Amino acid sequence: MKSVVNRKAILVSLSLIFIIVLIALTSLANAGIDPEYWKSQKFLNDMIFTVALVLIGIVIGQAEGDNFYRNSSKGLFQSSYNGYNIKRNKIDPYVDKFSSWNKHLYEKEYYEKCLRYLFNDNGIKQAKLILQLDRTEIVQLENCPQTFKIEGVDRYFNSLTKAQIDAIMNVLDGKIKIRYVHDSYFLNAYAKNNNKTMYEQASIQDKLRRKKFVMLMTYRVIFTVLIGMVLTAFVIEQSEETNKLQSVITLLSRYFTLFSSVSWGFFIANDMIKDECVFLDYKSTTLEQFYLEVEVNKTFEAKTDEEIAYEKITALLKEGEINGTDSTNG
């Protein structure tokens, strides 16, 4: 982190020096801004060249920065990566149970999202209890408090509005969506897939990274074009000496554009690596949670394929979607 601060400090210092030098040169040469220059073909050519320098600088800086921050032995990424590998190796003897546990994690995350939808978005404070009622009981709560038994115990429910009942029905009808994060995302350090939870963000990690990269690059291009409009519009009274000075100012401006763009690419790489570390730490935390539930606390028992198949068949039989068959051989 210290190197990042130093790079920013150096860039700010050089930017200040560049501006001071530019002011001195243009003042001594009696230069001023000519807005008509912005309409000329030369200005368009200068801007195209400047934007090209920015893009080239950012790409080079981002690539070098990614390599630097990712491979630094004392950097954040290596720390997160080593921590992940420790957790990954620890669960290796139980990895065959991970798929079943991951489905359990999805169901838990889905349930929590439904509760947030009911409680936070719709103000249903008894959401957990209400989800234990059947539909006919829920409908009776419209504008009328009721008493219902849950597991043989009387529970008291406040009345609900029509909109709140509709929200509950949305949950029961499966209209609340959450993407399933595949097993490989957690079991591979490099696998990739707001009010969203880390679980939800994990499924769109690639999209978030691309969006942030484009945003940072766009910001840099716009900033450079605005500065370039000012710098290239400086007009110095024509003479042999001032022509040389004009060339020096242009050269300094282009060097500064390239250098600052490379530095900006480093900053983008640093930001992207930090985001990647957040998700890598989330993977580590999830694997540790799996280890605790499966091996230490033994609060989760993975189901066999036969048990899963039996549950599916039983559910279909209850729904009448398949007919029961007598498997007894005569």
pLDDT tens-digit series, residues 96-130: 889 889 999 999 999 999 999 999 999 999 999 99
Work out the average pLDDT over 294-305. 82
How many C-alpha atoms does 109 have within 13 Å on its Cβ side? 20
pLDDT at 229: 58
Q: Is 312 left (phi over 0), alpha (psi -120 to 50) or beta?
A: alpha
pLDDT at 243: 63
pLDDT at 2: 45
Tens of pLDDT, residue by residue over 195-228, are: 466 666 666 656 666 676 677 667 666 666 666 5
pLDDT at 324: 47
- Contacts with 157 (C-beta within 8 Å, 6 or more apart), sequence order: 126, 129, 130, 133, 141, 145, 146, 147, 148
Pair 182, 203: CB distance under 8 Å: no
Q: C-alpha 11: how far from its chain's center?
A: 28
Residue 328 has pLDDT above 60, yes or no: no
pLDDT at 250: 73
For all residues of the chain together, what is the average pLDDT? 78
* Among the ranges given (46-50, 67-71, 98-102, 166-170), the one the predictor scored with the smallest mean pLDDT: 46-50
Work out the average pLDDT over 174-183. 89
Token code pair at residue 76: 């954040």
How many C-alpha atoms does 154 have within 13 Å on its Cβ side? 3
pLDDT at 112: 92
Task: Please give the helix or strand (H or E) that residue 147 lies within, else none.
Answer: strand 146-150
pLDDT at 227: 62
Work out the average pLDDT over 17-30. 61
DSSP conformational letter for 133: S
Residue 240 has pLDDT above 90, yes or no: no
Residue 9 has pLDDT above 90, yes or no: no
Q: C-alpha 223: how far from its chain's center?
A: 24
State how far the Cα of 272 lies from the Cα of 213, in Å rounded to an integer. Answer: 8
Q: Letter for the amino acid at 246? A: Q
Pair 254, 48: CB distance under 8 Å: no
Pair 43, 232: CB distance under 8 Å: yes
Higher pLDDT, 7 or 330: 7
Pair 48, 232: CB distance under 8 Å: no
Pair 189, 280: CB distance under 8 Å: yes
State how far the Cα of 12 lies from the Cα of 6, in Å rounded to an integer. Answer: 10
State how far the Cα of 250 lies from the Cα of 244, in Å rounded to an integer. Answer: 10
Where exactly are the structural domains of the chain? 2-96+183-296
Pair 68, 270: CB distance under 8 Å: no
pLDDT at 173: 92
Work out the average pLDDT over 55-66. 84
pLDDT at 5: 45
**Alpha-carbon distance values, 291 to 93, 182, 287, 299, 304 (Å):** 10, 18, 6, 10, 18
Work out the average pLDDT over 58-86. 89
Work out the average pLDDT over 84-96. 93
